[in-house]
Amino acid sequence: MSIDLSQFHQVFFEESFDGLEVMEQNLLGLTPESSDPEVINTIFRAAHSIKGGSATFHFTSVAEFTHILETLLDEMRNGERAVTTPMVDLLLQSVDCLRNMLSKLQDDQLVEHADYAELEAALKKAIDNDGDHESVNQQASDLTSKEAPSTAGLESDASAQHSEDSAWLITFIPEPQILQTGNEPIRMFRELNLLGEIKVVSQILKLPTLAEMDETLCYSQWMIGLFAEVDESAIREVFEWVDDECELKLEALTEEQVNARLSGEAFTEEALSEPERANAPSPIDEKIVDKNAKASVQSTSASPSKPQSNSNTDLQVRDKSEVKDPNQANKSAPVATGGSSIRVSIDKVDSLINLVGELVITQSMLGQMGEDFNITKLERLKEGLIQLEQNTRELQESVMQIRMLPISFVFNRFPRMIRDLSSRLNKKVELEIFGENTELDKTVMEQIGDPLVHLVRNSLDHGIETPDKRAAAGKSETGKVQLNAFHQGGNIVIEIIDDGAGINRERVLNKAIERGLVSEQQELSDEDVYQLVFEPGFSTAESISDVSGRGVGMDVVKKNIQSLGGSVEVRSEPGLGSTFTIRLPLTLAILDGQLIRVGNQIYVVPLTSIVESLQIKTHEVVSITGSFDVYKLRDDHVPILRLYETFEVKPDFTDYNDTVLVVVEVGGKKVGFMVDELLAQQQVVIKSLETNFISIEGISGATILGDGKVALILDILGMLNRLNKQKSSSKGIAA
Amino acid sequence: MTKILAVDDSSSMRQMVSFTLKSAGYDVDDAADGQQALKLAQGKQYDVVISDVNMPVMDGITLVKNLRQLPAYKFTPILMLTTESAGDKKSEGKQAGATGWIVKPFNPDQLVATVQKVLG
Amino acid sequence: MSELLEIENDSLPIEIEYNEDQVHENLGAEYLGFDLQGETYCVDILSVKEIRGWTEPTALPNSPKYVKGIINIRGDIVPILDIRDRYGMKHKDYNKTTVIMILNVQEEKKSRVMGIVVDAVNDVLNIKPEEIKEAPKSGHKLNDENIEGLYNNKDKVYVILSVTSLLDLADIKKHYSKQFSTEFSE
């Protein structure tokens, strides 16, 4: 039988990454002053698990490397080795290295020795420096050379004669308690039988009286003739487990000699008759052997047991190696284990099951009502429908919950990062985390990780000052970075707060003017100026540290956040610090929408983007360069997009007096949509157009309305771009 | 059908052992630590117990000791899964009452063969 | 065997199930034939997902004329193309008897679903590879690249179409990128 182990690879990778997390978190808390043995034990176990798994699934480089870690950790948990900061650092680096190696393997890439050679050398050095330990190399080679259970120490008897009729005489005298470890002699006889034909003769020399007899003890001993040409080691292997609870004597003789010895042995009255040349170990008197032993003993005596299940061939002389069938060459193709997975708490699943149950009840109730419906049942029908709406809503919330994971998964990497970074920058930084249990959608979380890292790096690099500067400014030498997460409305809010130097408004503004991003005359609020740091290629760092400051990061951060449907705001106080606030929708799949109608087409506008919807008068609209119109909404000049033109639809009305203006905003810019009618507000499920078609600018997807019809969902940013193109092309014409 | 209890804190190992033995025709339950295993063993009679040594909550050695205290498991074959090539873990296991051991890494065939050895 | 499949709109949509064993046994592949402007065509039956009656699609703004819009099929958004409009054949208005064939297009990494408007669906054909004749490169109105070959069945000639080629999105993508780069610049 060949089992394809690759089906377990994905689970192994996932649990190994978890294990590495555990190691890292615990290592971070490990200092020479506070080294809780339980903590070290936890770290050890994690490494041990990874080693075991990686060896089992044939990831030898990981196994080798982890083995060294395990050795170190074992010494630490035994108290043989002290916990030192350099050691912890080395271990932390090893965790990184392992993560890297496992990632490569997960992506089907090869791991080279160079990937871990340096750390391996450093670790080995650390171990060998303490002289009196078994060299690591020795242990490592033990690992890789392991295949079958090794044999116990050999006591060689007279060398075996390798002639045709060579045989072995085995004297097996077990200690009385042997049965209590679950080691039945029968098992060993069966195993011997795999090596060749056997004849078993039992001896009862020390049987106590019936009254004194303890049924849990074994009072027998045996002589076994093994008629096969095998190595002594093969025989000893059979008895490996009971090595320390028996007396074992092996004599290499000829068949004749063995037979002679066996028949010459003293028997007691209850002894057996001459064992037949059967395929099985001969029947053993039940009275002698412990009655409480498992049924297999009795079944053996009842009838000659069948040959071993994997033996179709002649039992006469068989090599032990047949038992371990070499894996056949034709393996089936490995099962594809692509796709990520989620761990869901059983409570969430249970609640889901309950809600589905309620839904089924409601459905059956409505179904029954529909059987022979008449108008008198109308009230009940309405109630039933309300019930249905409630069930579906609860079910929807519950299902979305499943994709929600606590943000701690992302926050967890920061203690390590800050520790490494602050030492690299020679700054003292303390990290505080709040709201790590705040949940958000798994996909959103996967994508917010990098932007967050960049923002935190930015705080450390540009925000927090060096200890001297801080002291000079009257602040504590240790700077503080705070990560804060909480729910607000339908969003999750993540704040990165530092108590550093704040953003230098002047410098940012000057740089922006220099780059032509803004003009000198423009009136900009503080917030506007700070937002400029998100412009591409923008960096005011005086010297570009390799951490950040290359100017490629912040604009990508903002773009990533926006592509998730979120936004980022900046607040800052010179000398006191800065706060970056990220807002993200809780889920990507559902949208609160405002339905609008243009002609006979219905569109959905994201509710969060709507500033105001109002009826306007034609005389309130101003025409710019004769080709597009602008409406003055308080202090803003809002350009108007005639949706019927944009979408080539026949509208009901083309006059401003008769239509509704829906003013939307994204990224600080406003635009007004001219529509025929405002319809209902409802939650819609976003369906991608790209699944079966292509993406269209200005359309973020489609949804299915209650009546089964499809409505398009507008993407405000895209619509703005189309408006700008319209503007610029018309400018071109006018010019 | 023969019932086997497999105990290991590593999910991938549990899956591999479980799958391998089920494919060989056995009925397999699994637990992630010694305490879970002990509970399962008290509720159902297993014919063989296979356990890892290093586990949280209750490790393998303690599990063996506790199992041997139960009348139903006085003589049940208990196999330890150990990566230690050094002898001390093996003898510790034996002293606690384990039947024998299987050294990690093992391949599925070795596992099945060893189980068949003790079951017959 | 060669009867017109009578399709009443009440019985639509019809989902196609294929018997894989049969395919291998006969050593030919099955194709579904349909009518379009008096001519007969067919496509690999394994790519036919469903046959539906006409539902008014939701228009996709600024799309080529032959992209009629998108419809909802059990929660999936499926675009509908009109082959006649695409290849300059006379437009036929849609009514109760109009049939939409929903087809599966397999691309390297994913598969897409799209629908085409046809006049009527007719036979299920079993065509062996040796029975497929090469089509003359005479500039068929449906574009030569869409045609896999010809098949003679008694008195009818079926044009075998490649679904992957027919439903390729390249032209549509080109149309849109042209649209948006020169928006309103007439």
Chain A, 580-599: which have a CB under 8 Å from a chain B CB?
A: none
| A685, A687, A692: best to mutate for the C interface, most C CBs within 10 A | A692
Q: How confident is the model at residue C14 (pLDDT cuts 50, 70, 90)?
A: low
Chain A, 340-369: which have a CB under 8 Å from a chain B CB?
A: none
**Alpha carbon of A21: minimum distance to chain C alpha carbons (Å):** 33
- Residue A51 touches chain B, beta carbons under 8 Å: yes
- Residue C173 touches chain A, beta carbons under 8 Å: yes
Enumerate the residues of chain B whose CB falls inside 8 A of the CB of residue A14: 11
**Alpha carbon of A664: minimum distance to chain C alpha carbons (Å):** 20
| Least confident segment among A307-316, A551-560, A653-662, B16-25 | A307-316
Enumerate the residues of chain A whose CB falls inside 8 A of the CB of residue C78: 692
∠ Cα A426 A430 A434 (to 5°)? 150
pLDDT at A674: 93
Q: Could you tell me where the DSSP H helices lie in A330-474?
A: 346-371, 378-402, 408-411, 413-424, 442-458, 467-472
**Alpha carbon of A366: minimum distance to chain C alpha carbons (Å):** 21
- Of the candidates B17, C80, B10, B94, the one whose C-alpha atom is nearest the C-alpha of residue A692 is C80
Bridge partners (DSSP) listed for residue A492:
A487, A584
pLDDT in tens, A682-696: 888 888 887 888 878
Do residue B77 and residue A53 have CB atoms under 8 angstroms apart?
no
Residue A307 confidence (pLDDT) above 70: no
Residue A268 confidence (pLDDT) above 70: no
For range B49-63, the mean pLDDT: 91
pLDDT at A43: 92
**Strand order in A491-498's β-sheet?**
A428-434, A478-488, A491-498, A577-585, A567-573
CB nearest to A709's CB, from C58, C75, C79 = C58
Enumerate the residues of chain B whose CB falls inside 8 A of the CB of residue A191: 117
Residue A146 confidence (pLDDT) above 70: no
Enumerate the residues of chain C whose CB falls inside 8 A of the CB of residue A647: 59, 61-62
Check: CB of residue A235 under 8 Å from CB of residue A164: no
Residue A151 DSSP label: P
Q: How confident is the model at residue A334 (pLDDT cuts 50, 70, 90)?
A: very low
- Of the candidates A653, A662, A531, the one whose C-alpha atom is nearest the C-alpha of residue A603 is A662
Residue A510 confidence (pLDDT) above 90: no
- Residue C109 touches chain A, beta carbons under 8 Å: no
- Residue A325 touches chain B, beta carbons under 8 Å: yes
* 3-state class (DSSP) for residue A344: coil
Q: How confident is the model at residue A31 (pLDDT cuts 50, 70, 90)?
A: confident
* Cα(A562)–Cα(A720) distance, integer angstroms: 14
- Of the candidates A331, A347, A163, A181, the one whose C-alpha atom is nearest the C-alpha of residue A256 is A163
Residue A162 confidence (pLDDT) above 70: no
Task: Please give the backbone phi and psi of residue C133, each rounded to the nearest 5 degrees, phi first.
Answer: -100, 150
Residue A586 confidence (pLDDT) above 90: no
Q: Could you tell me where the DSSP H helices lie in A2-84?
A: 9-28, 37-56, 60-77
What radius of gyration, in Å, describes the C-alpha atoms of chain C? 17
pLDDT at B91: 81
Say which residue, A264 or C9, is predicted with more confidence: A264
Residue A407 confidence (pLDDT) above 50: yes
Element (H, E) at A624: strand A621-624
| C58, C66, C174: best to mutate for the A interface, most A CBs within 10 A | C58
Mean residue pLDDT across chain A:
77
Residue B72 confidence (pLDDT) above 50: yes
Residue A321 confidence (pLDDT) above 60: no
Enumerate the residues of chain A whose CB falls inside 8 A of the CB of residue C176: 694, 696-697
For range A157-172, the mean pLDDT: 66
- Residue C72 touches chain A, beta carbons under 8 Å: yes
pLDDT at A331: 31
Bridge partners (DSSP) listed for residue C102:
C50, C115
Amino acid at A118: E
Residue C108 confidence (pLDDT) above 80: no
Give the domains, in start order, of chain B with CATH numbers: 3-119 (3.40.50.2300)
Element (H, E) at A665: strand A660-666
**Boundaries of every domain in chain C:** 9-181
**Strand order in C39-44's β-sheet?**
C120-127, C29-36, C39-44, C156-161, C147-153
- Residue B19 touches chain A, beta carbons under 8 Å: yes
- Of the candidates A297, A233, A188, A285, the one whose C-alpha atom is nearest the C-alpha of residue B99 is A188
pLDDT at A584: 85
pLDDT at B36: 92
Q: Which two tokens stand for residue A729?
A: 């092309």
pLDDT at A304: 38
Q: How confident is the model at residue B80 (pLDDT cuts 50, 70, 90)?
A: very high
For range B15-42, the mean pLDDT: 92
Chain A residue with the nearest C-alpha to that of B72: A292
- Of the candidates B32, B28, B8, the one whose C-alpha atom is nearest the C-alpha of residue B18 is B28
Residue A551 confidence (pLDDT) above 70: no
Q: Which two tokens stand for residue A466?
A: 């060096």
**Alpha carbon of B2: minimum distance to chain A alpha carbons (Å):** 12
Residue A376 confidence (pLDDT) above 60: yes
SS3 of chain B: CCEEEEECCCHHHHHHHHHHHHHCCCEEEEECCHHHHHHHHHHCCCCEEEEECCCCCCCHHHHHHHHHHCHHHCCCCEEEEECCCCHHHHHHHHHHCCCEEEECCCCHHHHHHHHHHHHC
- Of the candidates B88, B79, B81, the one whose C-alpha atom is nearest the C-alpha of residue B103 is B81
Enumerate the residues of chain B whose CB falls inside 8 A of the CB of residue A216: 74-75
For range B7-13, the mean pLDDT: 90
Check: CB of residue A664 under 8 Å from CB of residue A682: no
CB nearest to A181's CB, from B94, B105, B113 = B94
**Strand order in A669-675's β-sheet?**
A610-615, A660-666, A669-675, A636-642, A628-633, A621-624
Mean residue pLDDT across chain C:
81
Q: What ipTM score was computed for the predicted complex, to two decimals? A: 0.85
Mean residue pLDDT across chain B:
89
Q: pTM here?
A: 0.49
Q: How confident is the model at residue B86 (pLDDT cuts 50, 70, 90)?
A: low
Residue A543 DSSP label: S
Q: How confident is the model at residue A537 (pLDDT cuts 50, 70, 90)?
A: low
| Least confident segment among A133-137, A723-727, B87-91 | A133-137
∠ Cα B98 B103 B104 (to 5°)? 130
Task: Please give the backbone phi and psi of residue A483, each rounded to the nearest 5 degrees, phi first.
Answer: -110, 130
Element (H, E) at A570: strand A567-573
* Cα(A433)–Cα(C183) distance, integer angstroms: 49
* Cα(A92)–Cα(A21) distance, integer angstroms: 10
Which one of A153-162, A682-691, C54-63 scores highest in mean pLDDT? C54-63
| Least confident segment among A351-365, B4-18, C115-129, C133-147 | C133-147
* Cα(C7)–Cα(C99) distance, integer angstroms: 9
* 3-state class (DSSP) for residue C49: strand
For chains A and C, CB pairs below 8 A equal 84
Do residue A694 and residue C112 have CB atoms under 8 angstroms apart?
no
Residue A492 confidence (pLDDT) above 60: yes
pLDDT in tens, A460-489: 888 899 999 999 989 998 999 999 998 876
Do residue A689 and residue C70 have CB atoms under 8 angstroms apart?
yes
pLDDT at C184: 39
Chain B residue with the nearest C-alpha to that of A323: B113
- Residue B65 touches chain A, beta carbons under 8 Å: no
Say which residue, A503 or A608, is predicted with more confidence: A503
> What is the crossing angle of helices A378-402 and A346-371, to 10°?
160
Say which residue, A437 or A627, is predicted with more confidence: A437
**Alpha carbon of C50: minimum distance to chain A alpha carbons (Å):** 15
* Cα(A180)–Cα(A177) distance, integer angstroms: 5
Going A393 to A395 to A399 to A402, the CA torsion angle's sign is positive
pLDDT at A533: 85
Element (H, E) at A168: strand A166-174
Q: How confident is the model at residue B17 (pLDDT cuts 50, 70, 90)?
A: very high
pLDDT in tens, A206-238: 677 777 777 778 888 888 888 888 888 888 888
Residues of A with a Cβ under 8 Å from any C Cβ are 601, 646-649, 687-689, 691-694, 696-699, 702, 704, 708-712, 722, 725-726, 729-730, 732-733
- Calculate what percentage of chain B has a pLDDT beyond 90: 51
Q: How confident is the model at residue C179 (pLDDT cuts 50, 70, 90)?
A: confident
Task: Please give the backbone phi and psi of residue B58, each rounded to the nearest 5 degrees, phi first.
Answer: -140, 125
Render C71-136 in DSSP notation, one character per residue: EEETTEEEEEEEHHHHTTPPP----TT-EEEEEEEE-SS-EEEEEEEESEEEEEEEE-GGGPBPPP
For range A32-38, the mean pLDDT: 79
Residue A458 confidence (pLDDT) above 90: no
Which residues are within 8 A (CB) of A569 and not within 5 positions of it... i.e. 6 or more apart?
A527, A531, A580, A581, A583
Residue A415 confidence (pLDDT) above 80: yes
Q: How confident is the model at residue A287 (pLDDT cuts 50, 70, 90)?
A: very low
Question: Which other chains touch chain C, taking contact as 3+ CB pairs less than 8 Å apart?
Answer: A
Say which residue, A551 or A19, is predicted with more confidence: A19
Residue A153 DSSP label: -
* Cα(B90)–Cα(B113) distance, integer angstroms: 19
For range B48-68, the mean pLDDT: 92
CB nearest to A55's CB, from B75, B97, B104 = B104
pLDDT at A139: 44
CB nearest to B75's CB, from A52, A180, A300 = A180
**Alpha carbon of A609: minimum distance to chain B alpha carbons (Å):** 46
pLDDT at A275: 38
Do residue B23 and residue A15 have CB atoms under 8 angstroms apart?
no
Pick the CATH number of C9-181 from 3.40.50.300, 2.40.50.180, 2.40.128.130, 3.40.228.10: 2.40.50.180
pLDDT at A626: 62
Check: CB of residue A495 under 8 Å from CB of residue A579: yes
Which residues are within 8 A (CB) of A423 and not within 5 positions of it... i.e. 6 or more apart?
none
Enumerate the residues of chain A whose CB falls inside 8 A of the CB of residue C72: 704, 708-710
